[in-house]
Structure 1
């Protein structure tokens, strides 16, 4: 860890050092039951991982927010929610906090992906990607989602909208 922090001129004990340590820890940890994961640092590696798990017929999708919008807080779901790909045939790549590009990519047995159009109070439309985890029984019981939703692991599906800098690969 000391070598990594020195390489990026990050001071030990700083907030940045804690962020780097957390990312490395997440990348080195074993996946949960039914999860295949890899931390990736290049587009080529992301494509290689995706093709090795889903085959050659894949599409990358992500949330598209208009640069003039005020975030997603003033939007409601519009008509036209569409399921993307098949259950168990998706890979989600989350952008990690790190001094350079690192994505936590994973394929789980219980993930469904949807395209969810949102309409703002001003009529502005945003295309978001929602990921639904249909089985959370293997998740850490202290996961923020359980606290916010006041539910227990494995009791209900957990769905969330992905930020713009995350990528979902779906098998066609």
Structure 2
């Protein structure tokens, strides 16, 4: 009986989608409008590429259906919403993108460094994870995303194909680990399923009259490259939130408020394009006293908690939010 209901549900859904599909993307328009109302400056290309392609009518169709018991990875939903439901996705390297864990596995030694590295004329090797790009997929509209709880059983119900692929399942399991991990002392973190949620989280936690989003210009292809440090400019703010992309079939970010943190705008010479400079963001955690002694950064830098700052590069897929008056 269940299989008959499931078949009928999928056939009905396909008819509804075809009947209601529109060429314009109302969801993207709403996401862009929310950005312009709450964030100063233009939307980074990495976020612009993740705006939802769903029309208003498609959103209205999928919103009530996504919570149905027999809704399961309908190919039309995945394609129409630009989701990644059946691809092989490699989990992100351990200890690189999320920093409130105590990883002991092998990590690129260039992943973490001390502040003294940021000297003009200094040559450094960029970490390999700058080339680690998750597949592009779109944010869901809030109406749909709120019906998808971030827990393994519900995600497997809605996206069973993704869970049937071992590497993709491992990527989602790692993301769930990030979402459920206890926060470091003084930090507040959350996994945010929509662009609107990410903006709202940043605004609520940073305060101030204005909100801005920063990211590195272009980091793809820079992994393992030896570059020369150019100008280094510190940002004069202590209101900072970092957001790192994690993997679920829809675009999701893990964001956390950072105490005792500094961010820097760093020009680096691109060895593949002589005479040109890339702008990178660097974030330095100045107080590591709340970190676990097992954190891989301490092993790489020969430090212990609270005995020195830990810095790392921000990729073009990550975001740094700052609040100011």
Instruction: Give yes or no for the alignment of 1:159 onto 2:322.
Output: no
Distance in 2 (alpha carbons) for counterparts of 1:28 and 1:66: 29
Q: 1:77 aligns with which of 216, 220, 229?
A: 229
Q: Which has the higher helix share?
A: 2
After the TM superposition, which parts of structure 1 deviate over 6 Å for at least 4 consecutive aligned residues? Answer: none
Q: Give the secondary-structure state (helix, strand or coil) at the position aligned to 1:31.
A: coil
Q: Which has the higher strand share?
A: 1
Deviations 1:8-49 (A, max 9, x none): 213458122122112112112221110011111111111111
Give the number of the structure with larger relative contact order, counting CA–CA contacts within 8 Å between residues 6 or more apart.
1
Q: Give the secondary-structure state (helix, strand or coil) at the position aligned to 1:27.
A: helix
With over 3 angstroms needed to count, the CA separation of the structure-2 counterparts of 1:25 and 1:132, relative to structure 1, is same
Question: Would the aligned equivalents of 1:40 and 1:104 in 2 still touch at CA under 8 Å?
Answer: yes
Distance in 2 (alpha carbons) for counterparts of 1:25 and 1:75: 34
Q: Which runs of 5+ in 1 are unaligned?
A: none
Alignment-derived partner of residue 92 in structure 1: 242
Question: Would the aligned equivalents of 1:90 and 1:168 in 2 still touch at CA under 8 Å?
Answer: yes
Q: 1:65 aligns with which of 207, 215, 218?
A: 218
C-alpha RMSD over aligned residues: 1.9
* Displacement after TM superposition at 1:130 (Å): 0.5
Q: What count of residue pairs does the alignment treat as equivalent?
A: 168
Deviations 1:40-85 (A, max 9, x none): 1111111111111122312111011177xx4152321102x11224
Instruction: Give yes or no for the alignment of 1:101 onto 2:251.
Output: yes
With over 3 angstroms needed to count, the CA separation of the structure-2 counterparts of 1:147 and 1:99, relative to structure 1, is farther
Q: Give the secondary-structure state (helix, strand or coil) at the position aligned to 2:176.
A: helix
Kindly name which structure, 1 or 2, has the bigger radius of gyration based on alpha carbons: 2
TM-score with structure 1 setting the length: 0.88
* Displacement after TM superposition at 1:114 (Å): 1.0
